[in-house]
Structure 1
Amino acid sequence: MREPDFDVDGWCLDDGEEYHREAPETFWIPSKAAREGLYPGDLAKLIFRIDVGGEDKQVAVERMWVLVRERIPNGYLGILDNNPHAIEENDELWSGIELPFSARHVIDIDTANEKTITIAAEEPRRRWPIR
């Protein structure tokens, strides 16, 4: 399954492991075991790089929570659990859309509860396109 691509989708995910390697004293991330051990209902915080358009090709960077729906080869499928502040509501990147991500993208974790497990089982607002 392809990852989000900035040129194709208008947004992508930054690599949290890379941020941590560059500044290990100031950019904490959960352990690799924790990032690779997520289950449906868990929440993962990811860094989104978003094309906000305009003539000067502005880019916004936002940290948002994603609810894990399922484990897939090389990562997870999740549901965006936040609305980006930098753009207006849309069908491509808004709360409820499905997106793939991997452990290297995870910069924080919140554990599942009954409510998040129920939401993880629901149909997303928009499924991730299989291209």
Structure 2
Amino acid sequence: MRQPDIELDGWCLDSGDAYHSDAPSTFWIPARDRRENLQPGDFAKLIFRISVDNSEEPVAVERMWVVVRERIPGGYLGVLDNEPDSIGKTDEFWVGTELPFRPEHIINIEDRDAASMSLATEEPRTRWPIR
């Protein structure tokens, strides 16, 4: 399954592993085995790069929560559980949008609860294209 691409999708994900490697004493991330073993309903915080209409700063960076829907080869499918601050509401990228991500993207984890378990089983606002 293809990963988000800023040119194609208008947004992409940054590697939490890379941030941690650059600043291991100040940029904490959960242990790799924890990031590789999330279950449906668990929360994962990811770093998003989002194209914005601003000639001085054409890319906004936001940290947002995603709820895991399912495990897939090499990672997860989840749904966005935040509203991006840097863009207005869109049909393609807003709360409930399905997206793939890998353990390397995860910068924080919260355990599932009843609300996130329900969200994980609901039909997403927008499904991730299978290409």
Given that 1:51 and 1:57 are in contact with CA atoms closer than 8 Å, whether structure 2 keeps it comes out as no
Q: CA deviation at 1:53?
A: 2.1
Once the two structures are superposed, residues 61-96 of structure 1 have per-residue CA deviations (whole angstroms, 9 ceiling, x without a partner) of 000000000000000000000000000000121111
Q: CA deviation at 1:19?
A: 0.3
4+ residue segments displaced more than 3 Å? 54-57
Give me the identity figure in percent: 60
1:79 alignment partner AA: V
Task: State the alpha-carbon separation in 2 of the partners of residues 122 and 101 from structure 1.
Answer: 19
Q: CA deviation at 1:28?
A: 0.1
Mapped pair 1:118 → 2:118? yes
- Partner residue, 1:86: 86
TM-score by length of 1: 0.97
Note the residue ranges of structure 1 that are not aligned, 5 or more in a row.
Answer: none
Task: State the alpha-carbon separation in 2 of the partners of residues 61 and 21 from structure 1.
Answer: 19
- Partner residue, 1:67: 67
- Partner residue, 1:51: 51
- Determine helix, strand or coil for the equivalent of 1:79: strand
Task: State the alpha-carbon separation in 2 of the partners of residues 101 and 8 from structure 1.
Answer: 16
Note the residue ranges of structure 2 that are not aligned, 5 or more in a row.
Answer: none
Once the two structures are superposed, residues 34-73 of structure 1 have per-residue CA deviations (whole angstroms, 9 ceiling, x without a partner) of 1001000000000000000244461100000000000000
1:99 alignment partner AA: L
* Structural RMSD (CA): 0.9
TM-score by length of 2: 0.97
Q: Give aligned pairs, total.
A: 131
Q: Which moved more, 1:39-48 or 1:111-120?
A: 111-120
